[in-house]
Amino acid sequence: MNKDINWYKIFNNKNFSYIKNSKELKRSNYPFYSYNLAKIIYPELSYDKFKNIIKFMEKTLRIKRRGSILDFGSGNGAFLNYFIKKYNLKNNYSFELSLPLIKFQKKLLDRTNFYQTHQSNFKVFDKINNNIIVDHSFSNSVFQYFNDNMYCFKVLDFLIKVTKKSLLIYDIKDFNKKNIYKERVRVRQNLSKTEFRNKYKNTPIRFYTKNFFIRILRNLKKKYNFKYKFVSLPSSATDSELGYCLLIQK
């Protein structure tokens, strides 16, 4: 990972497309509005794919009505909006790097507490009252943006601590398949190898082996009682065979 990359600066740029396009999106009923919000971040996402991914997350997390949920790296609130409205969830939490996106979410999400994260500042985790706990937590395609191993450890430690039932880390980029992934993205975008390198030199993707997480979780099991397993991405997800999920249950 290039240590010079400042995700905090990139995602807090007011001209960042996720922010601009989210604000311009017209409201509709919640399933379609949530989908249209998600499509801003994942342009290749069809409505059928969105429904399949949502169904996979619901089934894996075992979300129940009137529970609570936490989204780490919540973006423009697309998935939180869906789950909160469908299940009438109470006392939820949104953790997001971008302050403009948090301001957008505050107009969208009910019964939600908001926290801005910073990869070089762990104080946000220490500010959370020890009595705060949620039924479920998830993080959707976010770990690929983490700068280093220590932040990954800190986030997992925090999420396991505050989660009462189930935690899903969705779409972890597989280190063993990173070259295939990069080439597929390059071809899909019709870029030459030079164009691809130039386009992504300032936005690198972080890849992980499963053994990396096993080592972290072995350490965290000394503090918390949980079980875990690696889960395949739903087949409908783009490049599903090139990534995986981590499910933690208590």
pTM, to two decimals: 0.93
What is each CA distance from 183 to 179, 206, 242, in whole angstroms?
6, 15, 12
Write out the DSSP string of 111-133.
Answer: SEEEEE-BTTB-HHHHTS-TT--
Residue 23 clears pLDDT 70, i.e. is over it: yes
Both tokens assigned to 223: 């503090």
- Parallel, antiparallel, or unpaired: how do β-strands 134-140 and 69-72 relate? parallel
What is each CA distance from 240 to 162, 170, 205, 236, in whole angstroms?
29, 11, 16, 7
* pLDDT tens string 222-248: 999 999 999 999 998 989 999 999 999
| 79 vs 238, higher pLDDT | 79
* pLDDT tens string 130-161: 778 999 999 999 999 998 899 999 999 999 99
SS3 138: strand
Q: Which helix (DSSP H) or strand (DSSP E) does residue 17 occupy?
A: helix 17-24
- Average pLDDT over the chain, rounded to whole? 92
Instruction: Please tell me the predicted confidence (pLDDT) of residue 5.
Output: 66
- What fold characterizes domain 9-174+208-249? Rossmann fold (3.40.50)
Nearest one of 97, 99, 94 to 83, comparing CA atoms: 94
Write out the DSSP string of 42-101.
Answer: -TT--HHHHHHHHHHHHHHHT--TT--EEEET-TTSHHHHHHHHHHT--SEEEEES-HHH
Residue 46 clears pLDDT 50, i.e. is over it: yes
Spell out the residues 6+ positions from residue 1 whose beta carbon is closer than 8 angstroms to its own. Answer: 146, 147, 148, 204, 206
Q: If pLDDT is split at 50, 70 and 90, which confidence band does 201 have? A: confident
What average pLDDT score do residues 5-15 get? Answer: 80
Q: Which helix (DSSP H) or strand (DSSP E) does residue 197 occupy?
A: helix 193-200
Q: Which residue has the tokens 């939490």?
A: 93
Calpha distance 221→167 (Å, rounded): 15
What is each CA distance from 201 to 49, 129, 146, 197, in whole angstroms?
29, 39, 16, 6
Least confident of 100-114, 125-139, 169-183, 225-239: 125-139
Helix axes 99-106, 17-24, angle to 10 degrees: 20
Residue 3 clears pLDDT 90, i.e. is over it: no
Calpha distance 79→93 (Å, rounded): 12
